[in-house]
Amino acid sequence: MADMLPIKERLKIKRHEMPTLDPEKRGKIFEEVPTGYTVEDAISEAQRCLQCKVATCMDGCPAQVRIPHFIEAIVAEDFEKALEELKVTNALPAVCGRVCPQETQCENTCVLEKQKRPVAIGRLERFVADWNRNNVGHKLPVCAPEGEIKGKVAIVGAGPAGIACAADLSKACYDVTVFEALHKVGGVLRYGIPDFRLPKDILDSEIDAIKETGVKFVTNVVVGNSITVDELALEYDAVFIGNGAGGPRMLGIPGENLNGVYSASEFLVRVNLMGARNFPDFDTPVNFGRKVVVFGAGNVAMDAVRTALRLGADEATIVYRRTKNEAPARDEEIMHAEEEGVKFHFLASPVKINGKNGRVASIICQLMKLGEPDSSGRARPVPDEGKTMEIEVDTVIVAIGQQANPIVAKSATGVRTDKRGYFVASLETGQTTREGVFAGGDIVTGAATVIEAVGAGKNAAQAIDRFIRSKKLSVAEEANK
């Protein structure tokens, strides 16, 4: 067992870098890029944690993960206990350890961030989940429900928000059914995030652990069409809607419907969910060309452009109207993309896609320059008048964000949506404008992070527990009168 070092000693340890696959080799394969800490790395990194009395790191975590506790267990070399600590609040540590933007969340509020060397909380979270999966098997220590079933809850959407809500409610002794429109569960973790960032067997393992607590997943049911929210509200004590934003946003420029123009969702769904990279062994194909351009610079854009490279594109380029500084993707994703050979065209805004015989042939971009900051605080890009460029391409992928999917909302009487189609719900409780119906994740906030959706699912689980208990209490009181 490793000793708890004096603070002075702990401060001397350097932050452990994440080992990664060689960029030369990985650029053509779908193997996970970061390879994970060794036991020695993890213990040493865990010793860097100062075990602050007031754990400011937790303020940065939407899921309120017990960060000092799980790190303390790593130092004690009790990795099973470390996982138990993680799973008190987060059912998806292997996922969150990989895809959370820790640099803007827990690691940003770590006291050591002031010296620009925060504890690598995300890498440690991933280590704990992976160690347990590899050494203890997939039967992860989630609290199994005990005692009487307190009620029935329906959850719409098996993505991060729905899964987190389901896991917490199941732990709190509720009978939970999750309805998923697609044929596989996981939501964006399944269809959106590529294997090189989140291998799907790892996702399966975390979901299997949740299934073992008794959560039922029903796939191929499109809530809104197969069954309405109104019907669910009658049959269940409460309903949680976490169906994700899930609609493609296009640019609205000429040429957008030419063959060879994809939304990022279509491109990633074909490859990740439908197995298109193994066509024709799998039935779903994807057409990718030699020269691929991706519009946008968020995480989805990086996923798309790196996927295009792995599928065999000769050239894969990001076109973004601002600069690298304003790019919404994680620094790590941009760095990985650069290492793998992705090209970047900053300060260029696409205005037209030219076609030849119905297929994409080139794009025309208006060159931009940075102006005054806009409402998001980022410098607003303004056209550099008279300057345009044309790039010859054969595939265009549009990754400029999402819009609300209308299917669920149209079947939910009394659940108000805003003018963009997102549900109006409390960010603290997920309460919508209809009693007994809660919502959280991207369908409330618009596209956000996985952990924010997890946080929203967790908050709603607490609120649903309170709602059902008070409802049953008042029914019982009524009966006793």
Partner 1 sequence: MYVIKKKKQWSEKVFTCWIDAPWVARSASPGQFLVTINSCKGERIPMTIVDVDGDSIELLFQVVGKSTLELSRMNEGDSLYAVVGPLGNPSVLQKFDGPAVFVAGGIGVGPIYPIAKKAKEMGNKVISIMGSRSETLLVMTDQMREISDELLISTDDGSCGRKGFVTDLLREVLERDEKPSHIWAIGPAIMMKFVALTAKPFNVPLTVSLNPIMVDATGMCGVCRVYVNGENKLACVDGPEFDGYAVDYDGFMGRLTQYQEKEAVALKHYMELEG
- Footprint of partner 1 on 322-381 (CB under 8 A): 358
Enter the tokens of residue 240. 């949680």
In the complex, least distance from residue 177 CB atom to partner 1, rounded to whole angstroms: 13
Burial of 234 (0-12, 13-18, 19+ CB in 10 A): exposed
Q: Which is nearer to partner 1, 36 or 246 (CB)?
A: 246
- Exposed e or buried b for every residue in 400-436, given b needs 16+ CB within 10 A? bbbbbbeebbebbeebebeeebbbebeeebbbbebeb
Q: Which residue, 21, 25, 46, 15, is CA-closest to 36?
A: 21
Q: 182, 215, 229, 294: which one contacts partner 1 (CB under 8 A)?
A: 182
Strands (E), 203-290: 216-218, 238-241, 246-248, 261-263
Which single residue is written with the structure tokens 């820790």?
102
Q: Which is nearer to partner 1, 405 or 445 (CB)?
A: 405
The size of the interface with partner 1 (CB under 8 A), counted in residues, is: 43
- Phi, psi at 208, each rounded to 5°: -60, -40
Q: 248, 341, 383, 446: which one contacts partner 1 (CB under 8 A)?
A: 248
- Is residue 35 within 8 A of residue 88, CB to CB? The reply is no
Residue 321 to residues 11, 257, 353, Cα–Cα distance (Å):
41, 21, 16
In the complex, least distance from residue 196 CB atom to partner 1, rounded to whole angstroms: 21
Kindly indicate which of the ranges 162-170, 177-185, 365-373, 437-445 contains the residues binding partner 1, using the contact rule CB under 8 A: 177-185
Helix (H, G, I), strand (E, B) or coil at 14: coil
Q: Which is nearer to partner 1, 221 or 335 (CB)?
A: 221
Q: 77, 103, 113, 266: which one contacts partner 1 (CB under 8 A)?
A: 266
Q: 407, 426, 429, 446: which one contacts partner 1 (CB under 8 A)?
A: 407
In the complex, least distance from residue 227 CB atom to partner 1, rounded to whole angstroms: 7
413 binds partner 1 (CB under 8 A): no
432 binds partner 1 (CB under 8 A): no
Q: 406, 414, 418, 424: which one contacts partner 1 (CB under 8 A)?
A: 406
Residue 167 to residues 26, 48, 61, Cα–Cα distance (Å):
34, 31, 18
Helices H / strands E in the chain, number of each? 17, 15
Kindly indicate which of the ranges 52-60, 81-89, 245-253, 340-348 contains the residues binding partner 1, using the contact rule CB under 8 A: 245-253
Kindly write down the DSSP assignment for every residue of 328-353, as one continuous string: -S-HHHHHHHHHHT-EEE-SEEEEEE
Q: How far apart are CA 98 and CA 200, in angstroms?
A: 12
Q: Which is nearer to partner 1, 147 or 358 (CB)?
A: 358
One character per residue 271-290, x = contact with partner 1 (rule: CB under 8 A): --xxx--xxxxxxxx-x---
Q: Which is nearer to partner 1, 89 or 417 (CB)?
A: 417
227 binds partner 1 (CB under 8 A): yes
Footprint of partner 1 (CB under 8 A): 181-183, 191, 219-222, 225-228, 246-248, 250, 252, 256-259, 262-263, 265-266, 269-270, 273-275, 278-285, 287, 358, 405-407
